[in-house]
Amino acid sequence: MKDAVITGQSTGLSEVERVVDVFVAPTKTFTDILRSARWWLPFALALLITLGVTVAVDKQVGFARVAEVQIQQNPKQADAFNDLTAEQRAARLQGMAKGYRYSSYGSFLFILIFVAIGALLYWASFNFGLGAQTTYGRMFAVWMYASLPRLISGLLAIVLLMAGVNTDSYNVQNPVGTNLAYYMPDAAPWLRTILSFFDVIGLWVLALLVIGTAIVAKVSRGKAAMVVIGWWLFGMIVMTCIAFASS
């Protein structure tokens, strides 16, 4: 009996159990990362959903329209676009449409790059800033699992697109109304950028990152929040400055 218990404990959670527990008992998932830093299922799910969104956009909206909406979202870019000749505008739209199509279908690469950079920043901050002794692999796994709620946004986007909702004004950078920026398309780009950071799903992910990093780095949640929210604020400031400068 004792051997069976030990064996059960050493087996840990399955990949499916880890994914489910992110939504109902996140502490269990992140604690299990201390045993194994595997992350293939969250990535596979992210790949599947992002591909589904891309196909839905391609069929229901078209990437030429995606490009047009993005131009309209930026006053400076819109003015420059309107100053072009008809032939130049057509060529610009065609080039942008191709760029959005290729980047969307290859979005799994951007997911890996983004998570890799984020995990590196967290690993360095916790190990060198707080004196923790976690590993890069564990931080990478935490990022992958903590990001699972974003799949909800993807699923909502697919459902809305297939239902034909707002296909003419689809914003690839903010496709679902889980933040105030979605409902203020005419606001200044810098203000929309700030509001987009206060996203229901995004804040959920932020909370999961605090829980997960605290567990794998073996620090208090207060210290973990200091690192996670600190980098979140830094990202918001940088993106807001970019939006202000480009508009």
Give per-residue pLDDT as tens, 37-77.
Answer: 999 999 999 999 999 999 999 999 999 999 999 888 888 88
pLDDT at residue 63 in the model: 92
- State the sign of the Cα–Cα–Cα–Cα dihedral 207, 209, 215, 220: negative
Give the total number of structural domains in the chain: 1
Average pLDDT, the chain: 92
Helix (H, G, I), strand (E, B) or coil at 160: helix
The whole-number average pLDDT for the span 190-196 is: 95
Whole-angstrom distance, CA of residue 122 vs CA of residue 230: 10
- Structure token digits, residue 220: 């208090």
Tokens coding 2:
């004792």
Which 8-state DSSP code applies to residue 39? Answer: -
CA 201 vs. chain centroid, Å, equals 9
Range of the domain at 123: 22-246
Predicted pLDDT of residue 166: 85
- Predicted local distance difference test score (pLDDT) of residue 76: 84
17 occurs within a structural domain: no
- Domain assignment present for residue 49? The answer is yes
Domain-located, residue 144: yes
Residue 11: pLDDT band (50, 70, 90) is confident
Predicted structure pTM score: 0.89
Residue 149 placed within a domain? yes
Calpha distance 146→162 (Å, rounded): 27
How far CA 2 is from CA of 6, 8, 10, 14, in Å, comes to 6, 10, 12, 21
User: Is residue 12 in a domain?
Assistant: no
Residue with tokens 């990022």: 143
Q: Find the range with the poorest average confidence among 27-36, 80-89, 109-118.
A: 80-89
pLDDT band at 186 (very low <50, low <70, confident <90, very high): confident
pLDDT value of residue 10: 56
Tokens encoding 144:
């992958």
DSSP state of 128: I
Looking at residue 6, what is its pLDDT? Answer: 38
Domain for residue 3, yes or no?
A: no
Residue 5 domain flag: no
Residue 163: C-alpha distances to residues 61, 70, 160, 167, 182 (Å): 12, 22, 5, 9, 18
- Residue 219, SS3 per DSSP: coil
Q: pLDDT tens-digit profile of 165-183? A: 888 889 998 999 999 999 9
Residue 103 located in a structural domain? yes
Checking if the pLDDT of 214 tops 60, the result is yes
Residue whose tokens read 């218990």: 5
- On the question of pLDDT at 117 being above 60, the answer is yes
